[in-house]
A and B are shown apart, each in its own frame.
Chain A
């Protein structure tokens, strides 16, 4: 029973490796804007009642060589803030660095290029602001500023667009009729909201609200130690994720195995959950990647959330239907208990139900890609670390499956230990129906939350 599962996991891993090789950015590629450019991007982010500035530097090969050590220094974020002049209602506003990240990538001729990102918070009040970027003023390069608002904050007038033409210095337009952007100043009239502001994250395509610990793994510098650590962490989070409230599937699966199955069934269930979950995330990731040629991930994500929300609703409905049929079946069975061939029928059907139901449950438990896992994948794609993201998701899925299997095994063992004790109190019997409703509610909530992003 374990061999096919191993083969499946190996197959997925091999596919992931090929996939990663195909999508990894080509090394030894010269910087698209010429190898001595320093490219600058600033986003004024008005979120709820707060003003944030998200700043990105993309240094080509030569500036990386010249300025790399300075840019890598922890104090550099503050240096940048000193030349990033933000005035709110005519008064200079201090920019306080919240987070920073520096990453280097292979460039042409064995040299490296460097990407620096930082998020700043400004004291927040007022109705008009001006942002002036004086960093690397004498350097040649792309200079872009955007201004965007969310969580109740509004932009009334802005001298700069809300959307980045370079995807935040990730891809520069090659349109012959467009000059390289050279915007070093933005004037914005705005109204802040009353909701609490949320700082923009540094995970690129990932939705800002979701940026959590698991997601941040993918953005970290990759040392062997860190990779091992992150794999262990992903396993642990997968396991914890299965146990977290709202995931009725673990309990349902545990119940099924506990009441009728064996230890083997428990392991099988775990395998199915891992495989389905991994495949589900991969499939969604592939779709995202295919579509990302036409749409940027930032635009795609709300749709994806909507689709997965609807998917969860669908699965929830299917489970509810199954449960209803089961209840009806159980009632009918109770009425005709005395009939001999009815009893026989019951036994046969039960066996069928055991295996098919087990697979079905495993699949339905795994098919809903956990938003966290999807975010990891999307973040990995946006950071050009697809292979690493996939490996993390496999680990996450295995952790998830381990939890499900563990519950199943405990139930099986418990049943053996307590012999006559049966898991069929009213509460336990109601549990499958309740968890189906929970899945349904979860899907509905996901769908509703995705709607504002799409409309």
Chain B
């Protein structure tokens, strides 16, 4: 979940703080938070830029801004065809003004959305070379570095960003860094600053609210988390990340009917493997094994599609398969491949988890140590470590890890929290 966070935010930052949507911000600020259409401002921006470009197709500045606006639409709608369009206009802009820093940043954040982190880093560094004192490129550089597991460089980049341009983009990244090193309270403080800074813009507000909800969830506060998710849905109805979060808290409370409805809505809006995973778990808790298996098949199909479209690395699908004991041999291969392209602590953890589940606990221990080396206090990772220690016969250590995981967040997983409780005794 954390891995996704930075990726999504990069885009929000690049557009949101470039000062390029003053009309949008003003329009949204003037109306109360319950916007009729939370995307109205972006839509207006898109159509005015399209009109301008129909008159003069060579206006590189308008092309770049349209690229950013399309990326924003992709975030608002979840519709990937906007990313294709964004890339198209940004390329055209770059062809007219080669080495335009803004166009390079835009293309870099498209690459981030496509999980092509090395390319994103290359593009953003080219942009930095063109505009060494700019700040927008720093978001993309830092996010790419995080996803490539280069945490030291990444955190330095975020600090520089925060010094140069304090704002949503900087605060949210600082928050993410603090969470990675296990300072959840401080992470929440930074994210609250980000939320305040995003006021008036529905999608960034919804996004930061969801992040706050996840941080609350990470420390086991279901109700505080649910409040944040509801707040996100208030400014951005049907925001799938918030629906999924709320489905989780409802399920953790045992309100399975409402969880099912919310989760189905999230999956309908964006069938991402992690959302499908929540739905499968809710069905499992409700005892509907037929519906659960349907969701398993759905994730299998998503994997097939990703492979067919050339995306080889998908940490989320690998994690889903391992979590649910599906195609375990393949899942281990998938996890290792994802780890190669995206050597993050999350990837370390998924590989470790896949190794335990296939009975290779010695190797797993090595990956688990790496997954926890930043000091992360993610209950899921702690639980996985417990399973490794248990597998190695270190029962005492295992029980300690399970207790730590549960103390951190007794609701860390709809599937595994019960097992942690059982083994902790």
Enumerate chain A interface residues (CB-CB to B < 8 A): 28, 30, 32-37, 61-62, 65-66, 108-111, 136, 138-141, 176-180
**Nearest-Cβ distance from residue A220 to partner chain B, whole angstroms:** 28
A139-B268, A179-B46 known; 13 other A-B pairs, CB under 8 Å?
A: A37-B79, A62-B298, A62-B302, A66-B268, A109-B307, A139-B269, A140-B77, A140-B79, A140-B269, A141-B79, A176-B89, A177-B54, A179-B73
Candidates B54, B57, B270, B304; contact of A140 at CB < 8 Å: B270
A65 to B85, CA, bound (A): 27
Complex: A180 Cα to B78 Cα, angstroms: 12
Is A176 in contact with B305, judged by CB distance below 8 angstroms? no
Counting chain B CB atoms within 10 Å of each CB, the highest count among A28, A36, A136, A180 belongs to: A36
Contact assessment for A109 and B46 in the assembled complex, using a CB-CB cutoff below 8 Å: no
Q: Does B92 contact A (CB under 8 A)?
A: yes
**Interchain residue pairs A-B with the least CB separation, the first 8:** A109-B304, A109-B308, A34-B80, A176-B88, A108-B308, A140-B79, A138-B268, A177-B50
Interface centre among B43, B81, B92, B267 (most CB of A within 10 A): B81
Q: Is the CB of B79 within 8 A of A34?
A: yes
Can you give 27 contacting A-B residue pairs, CB < 8 Å?
A30-B305, A33-B79, A33-B81, A34-B81, A36-B270, A37-B79, A62-B298, A66-B268, A109-B304, A109-B308, A110-B304, A111-B301, A111-B304, A138-B265, A140-B78, A140-B79, A140-B269, A140-B270, A176-B85, A177-B50, A177-B89, A179-B43, A179-B73, A179-B85, A180-B79, A180-B81, A180-B82
A446 to B85, CA, bound (A): 46
Q: Is B47 an interface residue (CB 8 A)?
A: yes
A35 to chain B: which residues have CB within 8 Å? 305, 309
Contacts of A177 in B (CB 8 A): 50, 53-54, 57, 66, 89
Q: How far is the CA of A278 from the CA of B402 in the complex (A)?
A: 77
Whether B47 and A179, one on each chain, are in contact in the complex, defined by CB atoms closer than 8 angstroms, is: yes
Chain A residues near B85: list those with CB within 8 A.
Answer: 176, 179
Q: CA A342 – CA B304 in complex, angstroms?
A: 84
Given contacts A65-B301, A109-B301, contact A30 B269 (CB under 8 A): no
Q: Kindly state the separation between the CA atoms of A139 and B307 in the bound complex, as whole angstroms.
A: 23
Cα distance A96–B154 in the bound complex, in angstroms? 61
A62: which of B46, B53, B305, B309 is its contact (CB, 8 Å)?
B305
Expressed in whole angstroms, the Cα–Cα distance for A341 and B400 within the complex equals: 125
Which residues of the partner chain A approach B305 to less than 8 Å between Cβ atoms? 30, 35, 61-62, 108-109, 111
Query: What are the interface flags for B278-312 relative to A under an 8 Å C-beta threshold, 1 for contact and 0 otherwise?
Result: 00000000000000000001100110110111000
Is the Cβ of A62 less than 8 Å from the Cβ of B271? yes
Residue B122 CB within 8 A of the other chain:
no
Chain A residues with CB below 8 A from B82, complex form: 179-180
Cross-chain contact of B271 among A33, A66, A111, A180 (Cβ < 8 A): A66
Residue of A nearest to B54 (CB): A177
Q: Which residue of B lies closest to A28 (CB)?
A: B308
- Please, which residues of chain A bring their CB within 8 A of the CB of B267? 66
Which residues from A are CB-within-8-Å of B183?
none
Q: Which residue of B lies closest to A29 (CB)?
A: B308
Which residues of A sit under 8 angstroms from B308, Cβ to Cβ? 28, 30, 108-109
Contacting pair A66 B298 (CB below 8 A)? yes
B119 at the interface (CB under 8 A from A): no
A30 to B307, CA, bound (A): 12
Most buried by B among A32, A108, A109: A109
- The number of inter-chain residue pairs (CB within 8 angstroms) is 77
On whether A138 and B269 interact (CB within 8 A), knowing A33-B81, A62-B301, A110-B304, the answer reads yes
Q: Smallest Cβ distance from B78 to chain A, in angstroms?
A: 5
**Which residue of chain A lies nearest to B46 when distances are taken between CB atoms in the complex?**
A179
Residue B165 lies at the interface, judged by CB distance under 8 Å to chain A: no
B residues less than 8 Å from A179 (CB atoms)? 43, 46-47, 50, 73, 82, 85
* Chain B residues with a Cβ under 8 A of chain A: 43, 46-47, 50, 53-54, 57, 66, 73, 77-82, 85, 88-89, 92, 238, 265, 267-271, 297-298, 301-302, 304-305, 307-309
Complex Cα gap A184–B299 (Å): 30
> How far is the CB of A37 from the nearest CB of chain B, in Å?
7
B136 to chain A, nearest CB (A): 22
**Bound Cα distance A33, B302 (Å):** 15
**Which of chain B's residues have a CB closer than 8 A to the CB of A62?**
271, 298, 301-302, 305
Nearest B residue (CB) for A33: B81
Bound together, the chains give a CA A37 to CA B74 distance in angstroms of 13
Determine the chain A residues whose CB is within 8 A of the CB of B270 once the complex forms. Answer: 36, 140
Q: How far is the CA of A180 from the CA of B301 in the complex (A)?
A: 25
Which residues of chain A are near B309, meaning CB under 8 Å?
A: 30, 35, 108
A110 to B308, CA, bound (A): 9
Alpha-carbon distance between A86 and B205 when the two chains are bound, in angstroms: 36
Point out the residues of chain B lying under 8 angstroms from A136, CB to CB: 268
Q: Once bound together, how far apart are the Cα atoms of A36 and B299, in whole Å?
A: 12
> What chain A residues lie within 8 Å of B307 (beta carbons)?
109
A37 cross-chain contacts in B, Cβ below 8 A: 79, 81
**Would you call B301 and A61 a contact (CB within 8 A)?**
yes
The CA-CA distance from A444 to B309 in the complex, in Å, is 54
C-alpha gap A65/B298 in the complex (Å): 7
Closest residue of chain A to B303 (Cβ to Cβ) is: A109
B115 CB → nearest A CB, Å: 15
Minimal beta-carbon separation of B261 from chain A (angstroms): 12
Cβ of B302: which chain A residues have Cβ within 8 Å of it? 62
Q: How far is the CA of A444 from the CA of B301 in the complex (A)?
A: 57
**Docked CA distance A136–B271 (Å):** 14
Q: Collect the chain B residues with CB atoms within 8 Å of residue A33's CB.
A: 79, 81
List B contacts of A34 (CB < 8 A).
79-81
Residues from chain B with Cβ under 8 Å of A32 in the complex: 81
From A180, which residue of chain B is reached at the shortest CB distance?
B81
With a cutoff of 8 Å between Cβ atoms, the chain A residues found around residue B57 in the complex are 177
- A141: which B residues are within 8 A, CB to CB? 79
User: Chain B residues near A178 (CB, 8 Å)?
Assistant: 50
Report B72 CB to chain A, min CB distance, Å: 12
For residue A46, give the distance in angstroms from its CB to the closest CB of chain B.
29
Residues of A within 8 A of B66 (CB): 177
Closest to A36 in B: B271
Distance from B301 Cβ to chain A, minimum over Cβ atoms (Å): 5
Q: How far is the CB of A40 from chain B (nearest CB, A)?
A: 13
A326 to chain B, nearest CB (A): 64
Tell me the minimal C-beta distance from A174 to chain B in angstroms.
8
Please indicate the chain B residues that have their CB under 8 angstroms from the CB of A110 in the complex: 304
A residues near B271, Cβ cutoff 8 Å: 36, 62, 66
Taking the closest CB of chain A, its distance from the CB of B272, in whole angstroms, is 9
User: Shortest distance in angstroms between B227's beta carbon and chain A's nearest beta carbon?
Assistant: 23
Query: In the docked arrangement, what's the CA distance between A141 and B265, Å?
Result: 15
Nearest-Cβ distance from residue A59 to partner chain B, whole angstroms:
12
Residues of A with C-beta under 8 A to B78: 140
A108 surroundings in chain B (CB, below 8 A): 304-305, 308-309
Q: How far in angstroms is the closest Cβ of chain B from A334?
A: 76
- Closest-by-CB residue of A relative to B267 is A66
The minimal Cβ–Cβ distance linking A296 to chain B, given in whole angstroms, is 22
- Closest B residue to A110 by beta carbon equals B304
A179 to B238, CA, bound (A): 21
B278 CB → nearest A CB, Å: 15
Across the interface, name the chain A residue whose C-beta is closest to B77.
Answer: A140
Give min CB distance, B161 to chain A, whole Å. 30
Chain B residues whose C-beta falls within 8 Å of the C-beta of A138 in the assembled complex: 238, 265, 268-269
Instruction: Please give, as numbers and ranges, the residues of chain B lying within 8 Å of A66 by CB-CB distance.
Output: 267-268, 271, 298
A253, B173: Cα distance in complex, Å = 86
Name the B residues within 8 Å of A109 (CB-CB).
Answer: 301, 304-305, 307-308
